[in-house]
Amino acid sequence: MAIVFKDNIEVPDIEVGGLALGLNAFTSTTIPTNNNQISNGAGYVTSSGNTTIGINQSNTLNTATVFATLNFTDGVATSATTRTLTLGNLGFTGANNANYITNNNQLTNGAGYTTNTGTVTGVTATSPVVSSGGAAPIISMPAATSSTNGYLTSANWQTFNNKTSNTGTITNVIAGTGMTGGGSSGSVTLNNSITNNNQLTNGAGYITASGVSSGDKGSFHPTATQTISSGGTVLTRSTLLLPGNTITAVGMSMNAAGDELTLSDSQDVEINLNFASIASSSTNRILTAAVVQIDTGSGEWVDIQGTEVYNYDRGVSNSNTSYGYIIAGSGGSTVFENIRNDTSKLRVQFWIVGRASTGTGMTTLSSGCRLSVKGI
Q: How confident is the model at residue 243 (pLDDT cuts 50, 70, 90)?
A: very high
Average pLDDT (215-240) is: 91
Note whether residue 61 is domain-resident: no
| pLDDT tens per residue across span 86-143 | 777 776 766 555 556 778 887 888 888 877 766 677 788 888 898 888 778 888 999 8
Note whether residue 224 is domain-resident: yes
Note whether residue 281 is domain-resident: yes
The pLDDT value recorded for residue 359 is 85
The pLDDT value recorded for residue 212 is 40
Q: What is the mean pLDDT of the chain?
A: 80
The pLDDT value recorded for residue 294 is 95
What is this structure's pTM? 0.44
Between 103 and 255, where is the model more confident? 255
**pLDDT of residue 145 exceeding 50:** yes
Q: How confident is the model at residue 327 (pLDDT cuts 50, 70, 90)?
A: low
Three-state secondary structure string covering 27-49: CCCCCCCCHHHCCCCCCCCCCCC
Note whether residue 43 is domain-resident: no
Return left, alpha or beta for 20; rule: phi > 0 is left, psi -120 to 50 is alpha, else beta. beta
**pLDDT of residue 244 exceeding 90:** yes
CATH of the domain at 356: 2.60.120.40
Average pLDDT (359-370) is: 91
Note whether residue 271 is domain-resident: yes
% of the chain at pLDDT higher than 90: 25
Average pLDDT (297-301) is: 89
The pLDDT value recorded for residue 213 is 45
Q: How confident is the model at residue 40 (pLDDT cuts 50, 70, 90)?
A: confident
The pLDDT value recorded for residue 336 is 95
**pLDDT of residue 14 exceeding 70:** no
Average pLDDT (219-224) is: 96
The pLDDT value recorded for residue 170 is 79
Nearest to 332, CA basis, from 288, 369, 366, 367: 369
Q: How confident is the model at residue 348 (pLDDT cuts 50, 70, 90)?
A: very high
Between 361 and 8, where is the model more confident? 361
The pLDDT value recorded for residue 211 is 41
Q: Identify the domain containing residue 336 by its residue range.
A: 217-375
The pLDDT value recorded for residue 351 is 94
| pLDDT tens per residue across span 171-193 | 888 888 888 888 887 788 888 88
Average pLDDT (255-264) is: 93
**pLDDT of residue 335 exceeding 80:** yes
Note whether residue 229 is domain-resident: yes
Highest mean pLDDT among 2-6, 238-242, 360-364: 238-242
Note whether residue 290 is domain-resident: yes
**pLDDT of residue 210 exceeding 50:** no
Q: How confident is the model at residue 37 (pLDDT cuts 50, 70, 90)?
A: confident
What's the domain count of the chain? 1
| pLDDT tens per residue across span 262-274 | 998 888 999 999 9
The pLDDT value recorded for residue 360 is 85
Average pLDDT (296-318) is: 85
Note whether residue 64 is domain-resident: no
Cα–Cα distance, 234 to 358 (Å, whole number): 9
Nearest to 293, CA basis, from 344, 355, 367, 243: 344
The pLDDT value recorded for residue 290 is 97
Between 136 and 253, where is the model more confident? 253
